[in-house]
Amino acid sequence: MKMNSLIIVFLFTLLQWSVQSAASAPCPGYTASNIQTHSTGLTADLTLAGPRCDRYGHDITNLTLQVRFDSRSRLNVHIFDSCRRQYQIPPSILPLDQGAGVTKAASKLQLSYFHDAQHGFGFRVSRGKDTIFDTSGHPLIFEDQYIEVTSCLPHDANIYGIGETPDWFRRDTTNTTKTLWNRDAPDPFRENVYGSHSVYMELRNGKFHGAYLHNSHGMDIVLANNTIQYRVLGGTADFYFFSGPTALDVIDQYTELVGRPNRIPYWALGFQNCRYGYKSVYEVNDVIANYSKARIPLEVAWTDIDYMDRTRDFTFDPVNFPLSEMQKQLKYLHAHNQKMVLMTDPAIQHNSSYGPYARGHEKDAFIKNSNGTTYFGQVWPGYTAFPDWFAPSTDKWWGGELQRYFDALPIDGMWLDMNEASSFCTGSCGSGKPESDVPPYPWTLDPPPPNRALDKRNRLLNPPYAIHNPQSELSEKTIETTAMHANGLADYYVHNLTALTSARSCSLGRLLQGSGAMANHWTGDNESTFKDLHVSIASMLDFGIFGIPMVGADICGFNGNTTEELCARWIEVGAFYPFSRDHNAKDMVPQELYRWPSVAEASRRALQVRYALLPYYYTSYQMAVEHGWPVARPLVFQFPETPAVLGNDWQFMIGDAILISPVLSKGARSVSAFFPSGFWYDWYDLSAVYGWDTEVTLGAPLEHVNVHQRGGSIVVGQEPGLTTYESRRNPFFARIALDSSGCAEGRLYLDDGETFSSPHRWIRLSFSSGALSVVQESGSYTVGPVLATIVLLGARVSGVQGVQAGVRYRTLGSSTIIKNLHIDLNSNTQVTFISP
């Protein structure tokens, strides 16, 4: 049983792949005419250049080309039906930043167009001497239900992104199909799952660039034969290109377009626990207490649909999870500075005596069949209606239900699940059924209910081009593609927007946009295997590209029984996910982190590092809010000119300073870690490794994960507690990791961590010539705890000038630990270190 969420919002959406050759009948392409240039771009008419191809639909004869230099680093190339009969995502659903517009001369990206007799009109996008998108040799195909755009790629290109799909981070460009069709599927390798993200980035000649197709239709994006080919089931060819040249630049440029990541409360960075299958509120109470007894941090207690009355939204099981006991649990959690998150599925039981359905029906807030009746699928509570997020009354109705819910139990975070949307049957299987007809769960019904027969003549149910969705048809286990929304559109056109629009409605009217701007994410129903542990790193890195940096996988795995060794190794990775949560499935072995002594010890050790790094995580996340930058990053983002890291997804960095080198294979007690050139300092014993762009074998006992700090960085943290509240009140430390020149720098961001309108403070720290400078950059937030400890990595000192008396020193190898400092972080300070 998979899940999504919000406020926080832990949203969830995913996808698939495999390669299919398009039909080989020649298509004429288009001829450009009436080309008109203007100050920030050009327009042109495109006319079909020969006999109709009608490969997978009906060719559209007259198209319009619009080119706009949105900014110095972003170029928009939009090709659409001149009569505008094709669906485009409206700004009311996803407003895009238009940019002020610049001249061609001011743009870092240039566009050229051409025509050849065989393939017709084409275009190239260039950055300096590099052509980064080139349609030459491939005709544009533009039909009512099929668009094909192909660009040439270098041999063995370095492509990252396009998803969501469990896969290795660097995409295989020889034979890959990424299918974008949101699907509730338990993380099958290289198949489409919960969401759709049509953005990729490429590393070429040491520099990154990116491209995004703004289109909500189902599609295949095929990597093969030194090309990237888009095969789309309708809409328009609305491309945005990003000049980079760094990976962080591309993500900055992309999230500037679609929306920056949302802000998060500080507590969201704490460790969290859940499982599907808790039998009562009292069992959850025991889990909370057991984490405390084991001295393992627990920030948030999550509960799955188990708490609901007959799995109906906004209700509480009167026997096992009575509201009064849930209120007591929430009061207890808040008294101990902990939080509560509960599940919600956007599927409402067909029952007139059930308030949310009755009120939604009255407000005309549900998706309909083509004949105007309410569409009823089948989800956990039986036959269900689905909110129509395009209906003008839905937000107000849904907001009212949420308000009643929060008035009864003011939970701290909301968890959205099943919003692909997911249904256990195909078609409106509940239509005509009496409200009293409540089917059993499909996994207990043998044989399962039959699917309705597919009408192959209906081109919305059975489009001429079959994207590589593994289901028997597009409508299987989701809302039927012929179901109708209030805007007059069939679900065929907006299926991939369902998760986005549900998160948007749940954001309670906040003026946000883009998936990452409204919701955070976990990677779905993974398996308890070492392979899934490894793939979880790649998936986490994918979402950094997608603009959703608050992401993580189910620690120890969701489906299947974990083992003591696997769970220990998984928490050593999961402790460093931006979103860190243990979660597993009903009827599987319990896997709370205190269940095995070795897992408990591995958890304490790894989470102690995480909690010490909370200010660094929070600072990194603020950089995501301001620039879109991911918190968790692949080595290739930081070291793009190092060939050995191009496909490295078995290590990862937090920010630009912390390197995690985990064990990902059964039985291993060492790990081969790649160290790029420069100094790297062991987090625990402060020993230095000098990287020569080679791999180093590191010891890795079962309860240990290797963590290193990059030379040249300053990381500010706090002494760790068992909650973020406790940790935030402890003294600060600064780890100054010197590079080969004896220099280092870092930044620290602070605010109250609770509200989104509080004062803030940005601080810059730099070290050179034996002195540390603490400089106030901006803001007026008052920092309470002092900087009490400095760890100088890579240098021995015997004294400090510019601080009070009573300072204590300790040397460890080539490093020095200076304690008992009282440095005020609210003012500029300089501390000079005296060499022995």
pLDDT of the residue at 118: 92
Cβ proximity of 242 and 74 under 8 Å:
yes
Mean pLDDT of all residues in 317-321? 98
For range 45-73, the mean pLDDT:
97
pLDDT of residue 508: 52
Of the pLDDT bands very low, low, confident and very high (cuts 50, 70, 90), residue 449 is low
Confidence of residue 22 (pLDDT cuts 50, 70, 90): very low
- Say which DSSP state 472 is in: S
Whether pLDDT at 2 is above 50? no
Pull the structure tokens for residue 671: 């790990």
**What does the pLDDT look like over 387-421, one tens digit per residue?**
999 999 999 999 999 999 999 999 999 999 999 99
Q: Is it the case that residue 516 has pLDDT exceeding 90?
A: no
Across all residues in the chain, what is the average pLDDT? 93
- The model's pLDDT over 535-578, given as tens digits with 9 standing for 90+, comes to 999 999 999 999 999 999 999 999 999 999 999 999 999 999 99
Q: Is 695 a known active-site residue?
A: no
Q: What is the pLDDT of residue 803?
A: 80
Architecture in CATH for domain 45-55+63-88+114-258: Sandwich (2.60)
Average pLDDT over residues 192-209: 97
pLDDT interval class at 743 (50, 70, 90): very high
119-142: string of b/e by CB count within 10 Å (b at 16+)? bbbbbbbbbeeebbbbbeebbbbb
- Give pLDDT tens digits for 763-805: 999 999 999 999 999 999 999 999 999 999 999 998 888 787 7
User: What's the CATH number for 265-611?
Assistant: 3.20.20.80
134, 525, 527, 554: the catalytic one is 525
| Residue 395, phi then psi, degrees to nearest 5 | -60, -45
CA distance 771 to 779: 24
Q: How far apart are CA 614 and CA 654, in angstroms?
A: 11
pLDDT at 448: 64
CATH 3.20.20.80 positions along the chain are 265-611
Measured CA to CA, the distance from residue 660 to residue 658 in angstroms comes to 7
What's the mean pLDDT in 569-591?
98
Percent pLDDT > 70 in the chain is 95
Amino acid residing at 17: W
The two three-digit tokens of residue 302, written as one number: 């999550």
Percentage of residues of the chain with pLDDT beyond 90: 90
Residue 313 bears catalytic tag: no
Does residue 789 contact residue 819 with C-beta atoms inside 8 Å? Answer: yes
pLDDT at 356 over 70: yes
Q: 54 to each of 29, 121, 171, 237, 404, how far by Cα in Å?
A: 12, 18, 31, 17, 53
Per-residue pLDDT at 11 exceeds 60 = no
pLDDT above 80 (res 219) = yes
Where is average pLDDT lowest: 8-17, 58-67, 185-194? 8-17
Pair of tokens at residue 390: 């395009």
**CA dist 718 → 505, 614, 654 (Å):** 37, 7, 16
| Residue 607 in tokens | 């989470």
Q: Nearest CA to 552 among 563, 560, 562, 541?
A: 541
Q: Residue 190's pLDDT is what?
A: 95
Which of 301-305, 473-477, 756-760, 825-829 is least confident? Answer: 756-760
Q: Check if the beta carbon of residue 1 is closer than 8 Å to that of residue 586.
A: yes
CATH code for the domain defined by 731-834: 2.60.40.1180
Q: So what's the pLDDT on residue 506?
A: 83
pLDDT in tens, 593-610: 999 999 999 999 999 999
- Alpha-helix residue ranges (DSSP H) falling in 652-805: 724-728
Band the pLDDT of 505: cuts 50, 70, 90: confident
Q: How confident is the model at residue 25 (pLDDT cuts 50, 70, 90)?
A: low
Model pLDDT, residue 446:
66
Per-residue burial over 291-309, b = 16 or more CB atoms within 10 Å of its CB, e = otherwise: beebebbbbbbbbbbbbbb
For 133-192, the pLDDT digits (tens) are: 999 999 999 999 999 999 999 999 999 999 999 999 999 999 999 999 999 999 999 999
d(CA 322, CA 304): 15
Lowest mean pLDDT: which of 91-95, 180-184, 465-469? 91-95
DSSP 348-407: EES-TTSHHHHHHHHTT-B-B-TTSSBPEEEETTEEEE-B-TTSTTHHHHHHHHHHHHHH
pLDDT at 515: 54
Q: Residues 6 or more apart from 286 whose CB is under 8 A from it?
A: none
pLDDT at 115 over 70: yes
Residue 732, pLDDT > 80, answer yes
DSSP 260: P
Instruction: Give the pLDDT band of residue 440 (cuts 50, 70, 90).
Output: confident
Residue 445 pLDDT > 70? no
Among 44-53, 291-300, 440-449, 739-748, which stretch is predicted with the lowest mean pLDDT? Answer: 440-449
Is residue 525 among the annotated active site residues? yes
Q: Where does CATH 2.60.40.1180 sit in the chain? A: 731-834
Q: What is the pLDDT of residues 618-646, one digit of tens each?
A: 999 999 999 999 999 999 999 999 999 99
- Dmax (CA) for the chain in angstroms is 88
Q: Which of 417, 527, 532, 751 is catalytic?
A: 417
From the candidates 420, 565, 572, 592, give the one annotated as an active-site residue: 420
Give the H or E element holding residue 540. helix 530-545
List, for residues 665-696, the tens digit of each pLDDT value: 999 999 999 999 999 999 999 999 999 999 99
Q: What is the pLDDT of residue 804?
A: 77
Q: In angstroms, how far is CA 467 from the centroid of its own chain?
A: 24
Q: What is the pLDDT of residue 12?
A: 30
Mean pLDDT of 72-83: 98
Rounded distance between C-alpha atoms, residue 525 and residue 532, angstroms? 10
User: How many angstroms separate the Cα of 138 from the Cα of each of 115, 118, 123, 227?
Assistant: 11, 9, 10, 10
- Residue 7 pLDDT exceeds 70: no
- Which among 762, 765, 758, 665 has a CA at the least distance from the CA of 713? 765
- Residue 370 confidence (pLDDT): 93
The confidence score (pLDDT) of residue 24 equals 52
- pTM score above 0.85: yes
pLDDT band at 441, cuts 50/70/90?
confident
Q: According to the model, what pLDDT value does residue 211 have?
A: 98
Helices (H), 194-233: none
Domain(s) of CATH 2.60.40.1760: residues in the chain? 45-55+63-88+114-258
